[in-house]
């Protein structure tokens, strides 16, 4: 009886560590996203036209997303060779230090062009760190779990909207304390500098978690003949490509709902605090939505939930901007809460378990990280492209059409995947271990 109890304790610690780590990492990463929409264009690109400054600000946001696959490759390689835990401690440290340094950066008015250059470099550092965080955190939960893998793995996913809630609340509090002028001078810095305190909390929890039993078993029998990335490209190329396609549309939608919509709603006349409040509410709903739909994926399968979310987002893309253009605060809330908290959560929630189930243990960190982080580029380029479309005189219907097209791509890739919810993570080839006819995990009576 001792071993199961110990295993249960480690599972709870792993889930808590993954959730808190994800909250902290995404607090830092998404804090930048919010700041790029409301303040960076005026602090680091103050010598540009406001519209052009917004595009430039979103451009620095995108650099972090382009750096994420690099982080996924680096951390994935060593995570598959040395262990998940070591890499997670390192990724959290890099993110916390990088975000704190952003809060200490001089502005464009103080050091000129060096300000945006240093901002971009630190954003790249953030991207590398988050590129290694997500997959490692998911695997810490998924590989400790013996049942309900979708639910346990989704706590890492729930950390993203939790980090968004925390970042927007702290940013809003800083704006309220400092006032409009003070916020542009020093108020925006407070949330970034607080990252160093969050780093201490996160490391305390993360260091108490043991390495996953699945990795320990695989490491004991491992023969490291080729780098994990070459193993992925040789043994799982189809799964890698499909995982990129499955997630790409979800990330385009995420970038739209959490970044671009903020800037757009402010431009059409909504007060900034009202927009941030709507975003905060939608993120709170998304926390519970992510966990709920992931729980359903344990019963009904990953593919049905992902397909439902992707199809729903294809439709919602055309309702989003007319709701915002109405000028109604209530319809603004409906637009972002339904979009992020329900439709996107249904799609995004099961992805943690799905990605971990597509690759073998000795390549799982690398494969899932590359698939997820390359897909994540969609969240970086989406706001940049959409802001450029509007700056060039395009309309929101064109933006909605692009979002819908990305969703259709993801639907096609999801249909091409086999159901994975019943796979054995210890198998050499997990996707070959479970026939399609098997019922999803948790579908039997308990």
Q: What are the pLDDT digits (tens) for 241-281? A: 999 999 999 999 998 998 888 888 988 899 878 888 898 89
Domain contains 1 = no
Identify which of 65, 287, 272, 321 has the alpha carbon closest to the alpha carbon of residue 156: 287
Mean pLDDT of the chain: 84
Overall average pLDDT of the 172-194 stretch:
82
Domain contains 146 = yes
pLDDT for residue 2 is more than 50: no
Overall average pLDDT of the 14-33 stretch:
81
Tokens of 209: 């978690």
Domain contains 443 = no
Q: Tell me: the pLDDT tens digits for 45-87?
A: 666 666 666 666 667 767 777 888 898 889 888 888 888 888 8
Identify which of 105, 382, 76 has the alpha carbon closest to the alpha carbon of residue 257: 382
Domain contains 189 = yes
Whole-number Å distance between alpha carbons of 413 and 248: 10
Q: Give the containing element (helix H, strand E) for 60.
A: helix 50-82
Percent of the chain's residues with pLDDT above 70: 88
pLDDT for residue 336 is more than 80: yes
Is the Cβ–Cβ distance between 305 and 298 less than 8 Å? no
Domain contains 246 = yes
pLDDT at position 432? 57
Give the highest mean pLDDT range of 26-35, 91-100, 166-175. 91-100
Domain contains 137 = yes
> What is the domain-level CATH number for residue 415?
1.20.1250.20
For helices 2-38 and 50-82, angle between their N-to-C axes, nearest 10 degrees:
160
Which of the 8 DSSP states describes residue 15? H
CA within 13 Å, CB half, 410: 36
Overall average pLDDT of the 323-331 stretch:
94
Domain contains 171 = yes
Q: How confident is the model at residue 111 (pLDDT cuts 50, 70, 90)?
A: confident
- The residues, ordered by sequence, that sit 6+ positions from 293 with a Cβ below 8 Å of its Cβ are 305, 309, 345, 346, 349, 350
Domain contains 439 = no
pLDDT for residue 17 is more than 80: yes
Q: Which domain holds residue 400?
A: 9-210+227-432
Q: Tell me: the pLDDT tens digits for 350-402?
A: 999 999 999 988 888 899 999 998 998 888 788 888 888 888 888 899 999 99
Greatest alpha-carbon pair distance for the chain in Å reads 67
Q: Reduce the DSSP state of residue 423 to 3 states and report it.
A: coil
Identify which of 363, 340, 39 has the alpha carbon closest to the alpha carbon of residue 172: 39
- The residues, ordered by sequence, that sit 6+ positions from 265 with a Cβ below 8 Å of its Cβ are 275, 278, 324, 332
pLDDT at position 290? 95
pLDDT for residue 9 is more than 80: no
pLDDT for residue 7 is more than 80: no
Put simply, whether the predicted model's pTM sits higher than 0.85 gets the answer no
pLDDT for residue 410 is more than 60: yes
Say how many domains are in the chain: 1
CA distance readout (Å), 135 to 130, 174, 256: 9, 32, 23
Length of the chain counted residue by residue: 446
pLDDT for residue 29 is more than 90: no
CA dihedral sign, ordered 409, 411, 412, 417: positive
Identify which of 365, 139, 362, 69 has the alpha carbon closest to the alpha carbon of residue 231: 362
pLDDT at position 105? 86
């Amino acid at each position: 009886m001792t071993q199961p109890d110990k295993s249960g304790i480690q599972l709870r610690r792993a889930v808590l560590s993954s959730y808190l780590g994800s909250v902290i990492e995404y607090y830092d990463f998404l804090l930048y996203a919010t700041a790029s929409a409301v303040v960076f264009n005026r602090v680091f690109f103050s010598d540009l036209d406001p519209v052009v400054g917004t595009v430039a600000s979103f451009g620095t946001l995108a650099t972090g997303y382009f750096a994420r696959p690099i982080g996924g490759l680096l951390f994935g390689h060593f995570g598959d060779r040395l262990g998940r835990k070591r890499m997670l401690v390192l990724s959290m440290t890099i993110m916390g230090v990088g975000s704190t340094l952003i809060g200490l950066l001089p502005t464009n008015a103080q050091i000129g062009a060096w300000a945006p250059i240093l901002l971009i470099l630190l954003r790249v550092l953030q991207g590398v760190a988050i590129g290694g965080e997500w997959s490692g955190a998911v695997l810490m939960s998924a590989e400790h779990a013996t049942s309900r893998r979708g639910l346990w793995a989704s706590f890492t996913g729930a950390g993203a909207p939790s980090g968004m809630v925390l970042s927007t609340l702290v940013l809003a509090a800083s704006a309220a304390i400092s006032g409009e002028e003070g916020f542009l001078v020093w108020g925006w810095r407070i949330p970034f500098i607080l990252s160093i305190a969050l780093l201490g909390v996160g490391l305390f929890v993360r260091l108490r978690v043991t390495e996953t039993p699945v990795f320990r078993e695989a490491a004991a029998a491992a023969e490291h003949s080729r780098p994990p990335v070459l193993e992925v490209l040789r043994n799982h190329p189809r799964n890698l490509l499909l995982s990129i396609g499955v997630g790409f549309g979800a990330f385009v939608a995420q970038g739209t709902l959490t970044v671009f919509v903020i800037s757009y709603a402010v431009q059409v006349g909504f007060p900034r605090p009202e927009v941030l409040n709507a975003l905060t509410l939608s993120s709170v709903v998304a926390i519970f939505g992510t966990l709920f739909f992931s729980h359903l994926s344990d019963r009904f399968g990953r593919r049905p939930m992902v397909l439902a979310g992707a199809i729903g987002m294809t439709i919602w893309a055309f309702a989003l901007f007319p709701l915002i253009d109405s000028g109604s605060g209530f319809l603004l809330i409906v637009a972002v809460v339904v979009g992020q908290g329900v439709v996107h959560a249904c799609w995004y929630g099961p992805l943690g378990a799905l990605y971990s189930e597509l690759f073998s243990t000795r390549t799982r960190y690398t494969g899932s990280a590359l698939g997820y982080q390359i897909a994540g580029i969609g969240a970086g380029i989406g706001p940049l492209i959409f802001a450029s479309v509007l700056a060039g005189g395009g309309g929101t219907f064109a933006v909605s059409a692009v979002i819908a097209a990305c969703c259709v791509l993801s639907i096609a890739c999801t249909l091409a995947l086999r159901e994975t919810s019943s796979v054995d993570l210890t198998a050499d080839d997990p996707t070959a271990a479970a026939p399609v006819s098997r019922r999803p995990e948790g579908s039997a009576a308990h």
